Amino acid sequence: MELKILPGITSPADVKALPVKQLPQLACEIRTAICDQIMKTGGHFAPNLGVVELTIALHYVFDFGHDRLLFDVGHQCYPHKLLTGRLHMLPQLRQTGGMAGFPDPRESEYDLFSVGHAGTAISTAVGMARGDLLRGEAMDPQTNPTGRRVVALVGDASIVNGVAMEGMNNAGTLRRQFLVVFNDNGMSIAKPQGALAGYFDRIRINPAYRKVKRAAKGVVAHLPGGSLIGEMYHRLGEMAKDAIAEDAWFEKFGLLTVGPIDGHDLPSLVDMLLEVKDFDRPMVLHVHTVKGKGYDFAEGDATTFHSPKPFTVQGCKVELKTGGRSFTSAFADALIDLMQRDEKIVTCTAAMPDGTGLNKVIPKFPDRSWDTGICESHAMDMMAGLAKTGFKPFYAVYSTFLQRAFDQAFQEVALHYLPVRLCLDRAGLIGGDGAVMHGFCDISTLRVFPKTVLMAAMDEPSLRAALEYMRTYEGGISAVRYPRDNVSDMFAAPGIDCPRFQLGKARTLVEHDEPDLAILGYGVMAINAMQAVELLNGHGEYKISVYDARFAKPVDIDLLRSLIERGVPIITVEDHGIEGGFGSCVLDACNEHGLDTRQITRLAIPDRWIYHGARGDQLEEAGLDAASIARNVRELLGRQRAAPLVETIRTRPDPTKARVSSP
């Protein structure tokens, strides 16, 4: 489709200038632009297709240069970005220097928060609503009709998250305009889970809620603002309703509720938003949308097309770009093998069955595996309960989402030395999703717990070995981290055995009797270290010993003592934040045992944010790719010869802070 309207949209003012009858055409063009781009680069597809009309209507009615728009699950922001003048950034979606895949205040004043985790929009919106009240800037239909309005857009089942519940509970106490737009598409990233999801399913399929021309004046007359809402229904008459009734769920939080209405009917959406924008009490507008709307393959399989890799469409056939074998696939197969051998193993994930590989596990073991929905804290406590009753729980969770369950890991798991096993996917630098999703703090988060064992996998055989060790470890929390990447076959060829994991013992990859330097790589960084050594060996420069560290807690203190007492300089390399990571564990252990740390250099994710781009680009920026490690070896050994025993912490220079184009 040729884009005729969208290229002329430089701000929401251009949207407002369009007649309503042209808005469906704009919606079609937005879908075309998003599809054409994601086919090339990948990205969040189905979530954005589902909110096109809703986003257009919001920008058509509100002025979000002045009003407040807060996103939940920010992966539904692409239409918003295109309506706020960022079409020119779309060709570099999720690439270095291009458009972020989530709201990003560095890009535009229309993005208020960088949002990658679910459940946050209502609470931050309540904060801004209260701030506007304190500053005298809040919209009041009587005293300040030009004041700021607040809208929270919630979707992909994040409404069931505990933080969202807390936010609604507090939102109900507001005495001002406050609109929650509940984008109910019947999906999370996968099929939503739990009793509340079932409640909304019943609303969607109940014919009583799909009828139009339903009067509400008599029902709402007794409610605060009831005359206004009654008059609204009298005038509109075309809107279905569900929650202005005694059993309305949102009403229990003190939020008047309207809907569900058709989220793809642009004229009706505009009419409804015009009616509710000046209501002076907290309100929920329940909007029913279809995830993946506009493309049959996305509507039919919204989970696969939630955030697909690049793909091609040939007639009715869609082919996703394939790569090598991922750590996620390797984990799923390894867990299936463990569960077949050990009937005490149970597993769960929090709304990420596809992302963690449990979509392969759950059908095989439906009685011992669960998807809890977007409820990381609940999932951790559920695993604690299962451990308490004698089972062996494996909790598959993205590293970036682990911190959402920190309190539960502390109080219900670690405090009782319960053996909950954490399988941390997406550890380290995440690639296109950027800073909101980096798994940069799982070591620093978990190492504070007594008897916790922290491991990292460098390839598929080591991942299997780590999981097997976790199966038998009963002293407390155990965890293994691995990245969103393909597994290396450098040490997985036939004839190469992977030694079993022994508590606190590293694995030797390359060893010299009198090395010039030793590299301790944590997880996949051991592979990068080996590649760096190959670069150095190409010039015959140095003798470098390389070790797969395996454990961050406890570290291999015997290996460290041997190297330090022989005067061998050490570089630690990790795909984790430098604060509190593997290198810090090494320094702390050496200090505890009275070992000299002056020849230990740490390479890690630097103490600044690294934004979206290819994972390879991010590793290079952080100084963790093979070439950067090799350069650090040369520089360090050069300095050692000139001025020995100088401690250094190497990070790359800070690049230009704003690596994105101005809108």
Distance CA(497)–CA(73), nearest Å, equals 43
Residues near 656 by Cβ (< 8 Å), separated by ≥ 6?
none
Rounded (5°) CA angle 43-47-51: 125
| Adjacency order of strands within the sheet including 600-605 | 507-510, 544-548, 517-521, 570-577, 600-605, 649-650
Q: Which two tokens stand for residue 659?
A: 């690596």
Helix axes 327-341, 460-472, angle to 10 degrees: 40
Q: Which of 107, 275, 376, 460 is catalytic?
A: 376
Distance CA(636)–CA(639), nearest Å, equals 5
Residue 326, SS3?
strand
424 contacts 140 by C-beta, under 8 angstroms: no
Nearest CA to 483 among 652, 324, 653, 306?
324
* CA 13, chain centre distance (Å): 32
Q: Which of 241, 291, 447, 550 is catalytic?
A: 291
Nearest CA to 248 among 315, 327, 187, 168?
168
Q: Which residues share a beta bridge with 180? A: 152, 284
State yes or no: is 376 an active-site residue.
yes
β strands within 399-485, DSSP E: 421-425, 453-456, 478-481
β strands within 514-609, DSSP E: 517-521, 544-548, 551-553, 570-577, 600-605
Distance CA(320)–CA(308), nearest Å, equals 7
Q: Which of 81, 149, 392, 404 is catalytic?
A: 404
Q: Which residues are catalytic?
A: 291, 376, 404
